[in-house]
């Protein structure tokens, strides 16, 4: 069985890290480091993971980590890559790890620059849909209708979630993909595929955050699975910015978005009209994604 083989791969992460119970980001990085192997250098921008890995001299990963300032993830990654190349360590995989804040908002210009230069590393965004580490403030990755500490009741996040994948596709990078923690096999395949490709690669991982989303810590995987089956977070990959491919097609009809929103305190007391609006947005995005997938296939 596939899952048993995956479990036999050595762990690259230590138990005892500082993530909250049920943390999706901890799980995402655990799969990531397992998939990419031991010859790995991680560039870590300010995010939850800066805390999860522990205060120096502690570390949660069995590979070097370079902490860097919030907006600089893209540039520091480029520097590390070129430095390693200069030393002849071209086979070392460089991974830049950033949260949604360090990718969608504060880190966007450095990310865009690195993508435009087609720097040779993997940029991984683990997306928990707000600035969870600093106290759950709204980011441009926060979905419409969600309540955060900067948009408390009766306010809510207005405007839709930034479509980072389209931005990355517009940079015509060799590989971009979405992944989530309920589908470790899918995530592993995408990371392995990314590792084989040279140039700028982007992986967008949806990682549920129990305290930030206001969910039961046990529901992390369940929610991640629902995000895919509702079409809220489809799993796909984009090759060279033009070829779109769906990697996990929901069986039969998509689950209504209401199922996903229920049980998340950030969507509590969301008016029906807004739920419908969000459902329409998801439907629209899904259809436009399907169009792209079909055009690429045809």
Partner 1 sequence: MLPEITREEVCYACGTEPVTVNKTGEWRFLTPRRAESLSPCRQGCLLDGEIPAWMEAVKRERWDEAWQVMSRYNPFPALTGYVCFHPCTEECNRSQLDQEIEIPAVERAIGQWRLDNYSPKIKPQSFKGTVAVVGSGPAGMSCAFYLNSGGYDVSVFEREKAAGGMFALGIPEYRLPRRVLKSELTLLEDEGIKFITGCNIGKDISLAELYADFDEVFLAPGAWKSRIAGIKGEKNEGVWSALDFLKLYNSGERLKIADPVIVIGGGNAAIDSARSALRLDGVTHVTLIYRRSRAEMPAGQVEVEAAEHEGVELICNALPREINAEAGAVSSMILDHCRTDREGLFIDQSCAFNKSCGTVIMALGQEKDYSIFDNLESPAALFAGGDLVTGPATVPEAIHAGRIAAKAIMARIEGLPEPELFKAEQGAVKFEDLNLAAKGTLKLQNKQAAPFAEASRCLGCGTCNSCGICYMFCPDLAVDMVDGRYELNMDYCKGCGICFRECPSRALVMEGGR
Query: Which residue lies nearer to partner 1 by CB, 11 or 163?
Result: 11
Per rule CB under 8 A, count of chain residues that contact partner 1: 50
CB 188 within 8 Å of CB 34: yes
Measured CA distances, 82 to 69, 75, 92, 248 (Å) = 19, 11, 11, 35
228 CB neighbour count, 10 Å cutoff: 24
- Specify the residue, 78 or 224, whose C-beta has the smaller distance to partner 1: 224
Span from 149-157, 163-171, 181-189, 265-273 in contact with partner 1 (CB under 8 A) = 181-189
Q: Are strands 93-99 and 40-45 parallel, antiparallel or unpaired?
A: parallel
Contact 145, 260 (CB under 8 A): no
CA dihedral 79, 83, 89, 94 (to 10 degrees): -10
Q: Which stretch binds partner 1 (CB under 8 A): 113-121, 175-183, 198-206, 256-264?
A: 175-183
Stretches 3-11, 75-83, 120-128, 197-205: which one binds partner 1 (CB under 8 A)? 3-11
Counting Cβ atoms within 10 Å, is residue 90 exposed (0-12), middle (13-18) or buried (19+)?
A: exposed
Pattern 258-297, binding to partner 1, x per CB under 8 A?
----------------------------------------
Binding mask 211-250 for partner 1 (x = CB under 8 A): -----xxxxxxx--x-------------------------
Q: Which of residues 41-60 bind partner 1 (CB under 8 A)?
A: 53-54, 56-60
Based on its alpha-carbon atoms, the radius of gyration of the chain, rounded to whole angstroms, reads 18
Residue 145 is a binding residue for partner 1 (CB under 8 A)? no
Closer by beta carbon to partner 1, 183 or else 202: 183
């Amino acid at each position: 069985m596939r899952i048993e083989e995956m479990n036999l791969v050595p762990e690259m992460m230590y138990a005892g890290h500082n993530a909250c119970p049920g943390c999706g980001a901890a799980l995402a990085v655990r799969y990531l480091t397992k998939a990419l192997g031991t010859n790995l250098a991680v560039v870590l921008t300010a995010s939850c993971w800066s805390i999860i890995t522990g205060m120096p001299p502690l570390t949660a990963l069995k590979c070097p980590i370079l902490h860097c300032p919030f907006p600089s993830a893209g540039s520091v990654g480029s520097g590390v890559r070129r430095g390693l190349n200069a030393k002849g360590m071209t086979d070392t995989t460089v991974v830049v790890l950033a949260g949604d804040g360090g990718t969608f908002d504060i880190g966007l210009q450095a990310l865009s620059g690195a993508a435009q230069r087609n720097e040779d590393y993997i940029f991984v965004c683990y997306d928990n849909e707000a600035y969870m580490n600093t106290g759950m403030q709204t980011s441009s990755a926060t979905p419409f209708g969600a309540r955060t500490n900067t948009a408390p009741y009766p306010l809510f996040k207005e405007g839709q979630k930034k479509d980072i994948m389209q931005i990355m596709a517009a940079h015509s990078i060799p590989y971009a993909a979405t992944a989530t923690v309920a589908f470790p096999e899918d995530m592993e395949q995408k990371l392995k595929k990314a590792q084989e490709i040279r140039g700028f690669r982007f992986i967008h991982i949806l990682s549920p955050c129990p305290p930030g989303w206001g969910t039961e810590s046990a529901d992390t995987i369940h929610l991640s699975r629902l995000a895919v089956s509702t079409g809220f977070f489809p799993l796909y990959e984009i090759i060279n910015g033009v070829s779109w491919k769906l990697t996990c097609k929901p069986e039969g009809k998509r689950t209504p978005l209401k199922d996903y929103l229920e049980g998340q305190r950030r969507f509590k007391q969301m008016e029906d009209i807004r739920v419908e609006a969000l459902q329409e947005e998801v439907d629209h995005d899904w259809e436009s994604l399907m169009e792209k997938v079909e055009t690429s296939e045809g």
